[in-house]
Amino acid sequence: MFPAKAVRLEGALQDYESVAASGNRMHRGFCPACGTPITTGSEARPHLIGLRAGTLDDPEIARPNLTIWTKSAPSWAVIDPKIPHVDGQPDRIAKP
């Protein structure tokens, strides 16, 4: 997740809208030419945008500092014990 104001995207994205279990409207942006997922975001948190690490010019700038939804992770998922984690959605996500 990044502050939305700090993100610059090049090219148009196709939007896929859905409703999360919380009732929040979610938007996922993907490449209209090849279908690669690029972004994710919630109307409840418009100040944040999620980016797929593989789409970044330099993926090293995006080291995780929190792992979420660990309760629903598959048994084979590797969850780094050195990074804080929560079972579901965090109670609070900081605003700028």
* Tokens 């079972």 sit on residue: 87
Please tell me the distance from the alpha carbon of residue 6 to that of residue 83, in angstroms, as a whole number.
24
**Per-residue model confidence (pLDDT) at position 92:** 62
Query: Mind listing the pLDDT tens digit for each residue in 24-33?
Result: 899 999 999 9
Please tell me the distance from the alpha carbon of residue 43 to that of residue 18, in angstroms, as a whole number.
11
Listed in order, strand segments (DSSP E) in 1-96 are 2-3, 14-19, 25-30, 37-42, 48-51
Query: Mind listing the pLDDT tens digit for each residue in 49-67?
Result: 999 888 888 888 878 888 8
Predicted TM-score (pTM) of this structure: 0.69
Quote the percentage of the chain above a pLDDT of 90: 47
